[in-house]
Amino acid sequence: MDDRHLRAYQTLRRQNRLAIRAYLCPYDDLLDTLTAAGMQTGFGDEWLRLGPIKVFSDGSLGARTAALFDPYDDDPRATGQLSRSPKELIGLLAKAHRAGFQLAVHAIGDKAIDVVVEAFSRVLDRDPREDHRHRIEHFELPTDEVLDQMKELGLVASMQPNFVARWSHPGGLYERRLGKDRLAHNNPFRLIRKRKVALAFGSDGMPYGPLYGMSGAVEAPFASQRIPFAEAIQGYTAGGAFASFTERDVGTLAAGKLADFVVLSGDPRRVDTSRLAVEATVVGGEVVHRRQGIVGVPRKCEPKSTSRFSQRGVCRWRRRRPLGARGSRKSLSRCG
Ligand SMILES: [Zn+2]
């Protein structure tokens, strides 16, 4: 995201119109400015927080710009391209790392992933930092060797199972671009978990939300991709919380954590999740959305010495209403 997006999020926050928590990932061209202002990953509050610096290392398989070791199956002259030289990449990652930022590096092709992991290895070797949680975004075609390095370096694989649901079927985009041999190696969620690499799931906005992507992990065409339902849920919840340093507050439903959750129209373990609807969205213990439409945004919850608030300012519900019931904005549970 660029400066316009950062301003827009702050405006929404100020006007109390932000109904979701945001972990912002500025593009690397803002790195110098943010560093000069003394900003680091983690600055902000539970609604709006400065996240990692987003760096590109290659393009996409669709556009044949993801950097591959071997040519594209449907264009033998193309092997994609690195967005910057390995030397430039190391320089950029080292600068952001030293300035106290988490990094989120876009890398899709096997060659780009290798180059990025090697760059992280150099940076962390020279300048070790505990619990950096640097991420590789998408991570669609990792080689087997790279998985052990990921674990050793403490890197997070930040992946999108919806890509598998869309592109990994016979005759799909992955097969056209990669051919039959490499096809089976795309998005190996199961192997990644087996090798104990931290795994976080997202949607990349294609489409937004996890419901469509769940099947890409649970019913993936290849055994190296397929993971059980509970592990897929974990990727979208606890995995995402870990990847954004927020596991103390979100990621699981537990006493003392923020009450952020959705209510679905059916049991996701029994029904194809892409056919389910979100009946309600609850943020900080407040219903901010019902299927009938947006019904409100959460009010800012200040810690108070009343019984309605826990010590950490976690909202407790004041009123419970059946979720199917029609409710006006006025009748929603409120925290203050
Ligand atoms: Zn990306």
Find the 58 Cα to ligand 1 centroid distance in Å.
9
Percent of the chain with pLDDT over 70: 87
Q: Are 239 and 192 a contacting pair, CB within 8 Å?
A: no
Q: Are 106 and 99 a contacting pair, CB within 8 Å?
A: no
Find the 218 Cα to ligand 1 centroid distance in Å.
23
Q: What is the pLDDT of residues 299-317, one digit of tens each?
A: 554 333 333 334 343 444 4
Find the 290 Cα to ligand 1 centroid distance in Å.
31
pLDDT band of residue 294 (cuts 50, 70, 90) is: low
Domain range enclosing 125: 52-243
pLDDT band of residue 295 (cuts 50, 70, 90) is: low
pLDDT band of residue 174 (cuts 50, 70, 90) is: very high
Q: What is the pLDDT of residues 215-261, one digit of tens each?
A: 999 999 999 999 999 999 999 999 999 999 999 999 999 999 999 99
330 and 201 within one domain: no
Alpha carbons 55 and 105: distance in angstroms, whole number: 5
267 and 237 within one domain: no
Is residue 153 a part of any domain in this protein? yes
DSSP 125-179: HHS--TT---EEEE--S--HHHHHHHHHHT-EEEE-HHHHHHH-STTSHHHHHHH
Name the domain boundary from 243, 271, 301. 243
214 and 91 within one domain: yes
- pLDDT value of residue 334: 28
Alpha carbons 138 and 286: distance in angstroms, whole number: 32
Query: How many residues does this entry show for the chain?
Result: 336
Maximum CA pair distance of the chain?
68
268 and 154 within one domain: no
Q: Is the pLDDT reported for residue 329 higher than 50?
A: no
Is residue 12 a part of any domain in this protein? no
226 and 271 within one domain: no
Q: Which is more confidently placed, 203 or 316?
A: 203
Find the 106 Cα to ligand 1 centroid distance in Å.
5
State residue 152 phi and psi, 5-degree precision. -60, -40
Here the CATH number for the domain that contains residue 82 is 3.20.20.140
Name the domain boundary from 216, 243, 270. 243
Q: How many domains would you assign to the chain?
A: 2
282 and 208 within one domain: no
- pLDDT value of residue 332: 32
291 and 181 within one domain: no
Is residue 15 a part of any domain in this protein? no
DSSP 75: B
Alpha carbons 4 and 313: distance in angstroms, whole number: 31
Find the 12 Cα to ligand 1 centroid distance in Å.
25
Q: Is the pLDDT reported for residue 321 higher than 80?
A: no
Structure tokens at 120: 């992280």
225 and 184 within one domain: yes
Find the 113 Cα to ligand 1 centroid distance in Å.
13
Q: Which is more confidently placed, 319 or 175?
A: 175
Is residue 275 a part of any domain in this protein? yes
Q: Are 177 and 59 a contacting pair, CB within 8 Å?
A: no
Q: What is the pLDDT of residues 111-169, one digit of tens each?
A: 999 999 999 999 999 999 999 999 999 999 999 999 999 999 999 999 999 999 999 99
Find the 204 Cα to ligand 1 centroid distance in Å.
8
Is residue 5 a part of any domain in this protein? no
Find the 312 Cα to ligand 1 centroid distance in Å.
34
Q: What is the pLDDT of residues 27-81, one digit of tens each?
A: 999 999 999 999 999 999 999 999 999 999 999 999 999 999 999 999 999 999 9
214 and 69 within one domain: yes
DSSP 221-266: SSTTT---HHHHHHHHTHHHHHHTT-TTTSSS--TTS---EEEESS
Q: Which long-range contacts link 223-231 to residues 24+ away (Cβ below 8 Å)?
A: 223/190, 224/184, 224/185, 224/188, 224/189, 224/190, 224/191, 225/164, 225/168, 225/186, 225/187, 225/188, 225/189, 225/190, 226/189, 226/190, 227/189, 227/190, 227/193, 229/268, 229/269, 231/193
DSSP 61: T
